Amino acid sequence: MGTERITIFDTTLRDGEQSPGCSMNLDEKLQMAKQLDALGVDVIEAGFPVASDDDFAAVQAIAHACRRPVIAALCRTVPHDIQRAWEALQEAAHPRIHTFLATSDIHLEYKLKKTRAEALQMIRDGVGLAKSLCQDVEFSAEDATRSDWTYLVEVFTVAIAAGATVLNVPDTVGYTIPDEYGKLIRHLREHVPGIDGVTISVHCHNDLGLAVANSLAAVSAGARQVECTVNGIGERAGNAALEEVVMGLSVRQDVMPFTTGVNHEAIYRASQTLANITGQEVQPNKAIVGRNAFAHESGIHQHGMLSHHTTYEIMTPASVGVRNTHLVLGKHSGRHALAKRFEELGYPLGRTELDKAYKLFTKLSDQKKEIFDEDLLAIVRDGLTHIPETFKLRAIQATAGTAMFATGLVTLASDGGEVTETALGDGPVNAVFAAMDKLTGLKGRLLDFKIHSVTGGADAVGEVFVQVEFDGVTQSGKGASTDIVEASARAYLNAANKVLFAKRAPAPAVVEARS
Ligand code: KIV
Ligand code: ZN
């Protein structure tokens, strides 16, 4: 059986990042891009350079750091956009300009206020300009699935003639269904001259919950590139989930004889990294990467699984990198065991990182009898971040109750020494945040606060994610501790330190403590 290769085009850092609550700063995008590189995706769409200086910088940095995959930058079909995308891609080993224009009558009339003929000219000019700069040019006909099929044939014919190497047929509003989408792909293959010489790509949104089904139907009909995102994040209901597309193709080789370059065992780690960066947890019943994706609750299922795992399992958790949560280390485990376990989890630590991790580990093992993989992952994620800390948390104390205001007392250390502040609040977390504002000199407005326990049990580590606006700048922060008020304080301070670092402000002089 032939196994044709499907190109996996990841747009987590562009379409995914556009969705509410998923914005990432430069360091976070770079961290995610490296994870995608390790995952083995073929194309990383790194951003939309004309949209903002931050997007531009992210594309530049990712192009510099990730040498194996193709790095794509998005742009409209207008010259300034295209030039900006190309500038951002200068350092890429394998650059791609991805240019798009809407082609449905709805978009042409209400959004672009262009005629079909004007749009064709814009595509001709835009793709032509992109091609004069870059060999690899992708053209997307936005809202293709609501475009007139005859017009779409004209659109793609023009795009090929102008030099496009990849033609993308987006289901921008998640409107199509598998059978119809497959027919559209076949129609284009039959009617667009020269289409055999280019790659047909699909890009599906999930408004009807059909993004993955539509993508797979398109592959069966002849598409050879699938655009998708980790955990399916993206505009509105999201994009096709990478892990579902890849594992769908892998598990159903019998009816879809295709391969991808994705390293399946790195899927879970990529999913967790993204969830951790954005603070958007994966829904428990999410296919492939959800907490319950491999859990068997009912007695009948458990009995079947004990007899033979294939009774209720179409793929093993290990095949996508999900390990059993098991007790790994305890108070008396040494540095060597810790280093080995981190390595097994995919985090080979350097000497300095290991020293820091070991310190955090011993502190944690004083608070917690059993240490699980998740605890160790929380240490890498929250304890080993490289944001220089203008302020370090030295101590907190909080009181709360039903009949009183909550109070928070915080001691921070900076180059100027240690200071302590107190504040009142609606609750202990709020009071601690207010005390920290007094000390850092920043005024924070909490936009998002999430907490989850990384393992079970009363002594579990709580991980807190916050999104805070400090004087017009929004920043996220994370913190972990067995004490949730402390975890919250660490997350808040992490966000504040990022803002202070970004401002490159000299360490503010310690504010005199007021009692
Ligand atoms: O959904 C869409 O149409 C897009 C294009 C820019 C490819 O994201
Ligand atoms: Zn999209």
Give start and end residues of each alpha helix (H) in 40-111. 53-65, 79-88, 105-106
Residues of the chain with CATH 3.20.20.70: 4-278
Q: What is the pLDDT of residues 98-141, one digit of tens each?
A: 999 999 999 999 999 999 999 999 999 999 999 999 999 999 99
Q: What is the pLDDT of residue 505?
A: 43
Residue among 168, 175, 201 whose CB has most ligand 1 atoms within 8 A, to mutate: 168
Ligand index nearest the alpha carbon of residue 229:
2
Q: What is the pLDDT of residue 386?
A: 57
Residue among 81, 99, 104, 140 whose CB has most ligand 1 atoms within 8 A, to mutate: 140
List the single range of 47-56, 409-418, 452-461 with lowest mean pLDDT: 452-461
Q: Which residues make Cβ contacts (< 8 Å) with residue 357, sequence separation at least 6?
A: 338, 342, 349, 379, 380, 383, 384
Greater confidence (449 vs 505) lies with 449
Identify which of 391, 495, 387, 489 has the alpha carbon closest to the alpha carbon of residue 440.
391
Q: Map residue 267 onto helix, strand or coil.
A: helix
216: buried, middle or exposed (CB in 10 Å: 19+, 13-18, 0-12)?
A: buried
CA of 276 to the centre of ligand 1 (A): 25
Mean pLDDT along residues 145-160: 98
Contact 192, 156 (CB under 8 A): yes
Q: What is the pLDDT of residue 2?
A: 52
CA of 172 to the centre of ligand 1 (A): 6
List the single range of 34-43, 295-304, 358-367 with lowest mean pLDDT: 295-304
CA atoms of 290 and 292, how far apart (whole Å):
5
Phi, psi for 123 (deg, rounded to 5): -70, -45
CA of 64 to the centre of ligand 2 (A): 25
Nearest CA to ligand 1 atom 8: 15
Mean pLDDT along residues 359-380: 80
CA atoms of 71 and 45, how far apart (whole Å):
6
Ligand 1 neighbours (beta carbon < 6 A): 15, 100, 140, 142, 168, 170, 172, 203, 205
Q: What is the pLDDT of residue 476?
A: 82
Nearest atom of ligand 1 to the alpha carbon of 168: 7
Q: Say whether domain 4-278 belongs to CATH 3.30.70.120.
A: no
Contact 35, 69 (CB under 8 A): no
CATH superfamily of domain region 392-504:
Alpha-isopropylmalate synthase LeuA, regulatory domain (3.30.160.270)
Nearest CA to ligand 1 atom 2: 172
Q: What is the pLDDT of residue 387?
A: 63
Identify which of 431, 424, 412, 423 has the alpha carbon closest to the alpha carbon of residue 494.
412
CA of 284 to the centre of ligand 1 (A): 28
Q: What is the pLDDT of residues 31-82, one digit of tens each?
A: 999 999 999 999 999 999 999 999 999 999 999 999 999 999 999 999 999 9
Q: What is the pLDDT of residue 513?
A: 32
DSSP run (H or E) holding 398 = strand 392-399
Q: What is the pLDDT of residue 324?
A: 63
Nearest atom of ligand 1 to the alpha carbon of 102: 3
CA atoms of 242 and 10, how far apart (whole Å):
8
pLDDT exceeds 70 at position 328: no
CA of 206 to the centre of ligand 2 (A): 10
pLDDT exceeds 50 at position 385: yes
Nearest CA to ligand 1 atom 5: 142
CA atoms of 205 and 222, how far apart (whole Å):
19
Q: What pTM, to 2 d.p., does this model score? A: 0.79
Nearest atom of ligand 1 to the alpha carbon of 143: 3
Percent of the chain whose predicted confidence (pLDDT) is above 70: 92
Residues of the chain with CATH 3.30.160.270: 392-504
Nearest CA to ligand 1 atom 1: 172
512: buried, middle or exposed (CB in 10 Å: 19+, 13-18, 0-12)?
A: exposed
Percent of the chain whose predicted confidence (pLDDT) is above 90: 66
List the single range of 244-253, 379-388, 462-471 with lowest mean pLDDT: 379-388
Contact 204, 238 (CB under 8 A): no
For all residues of the chain together, what is the average pLDDT?
Answer: 90
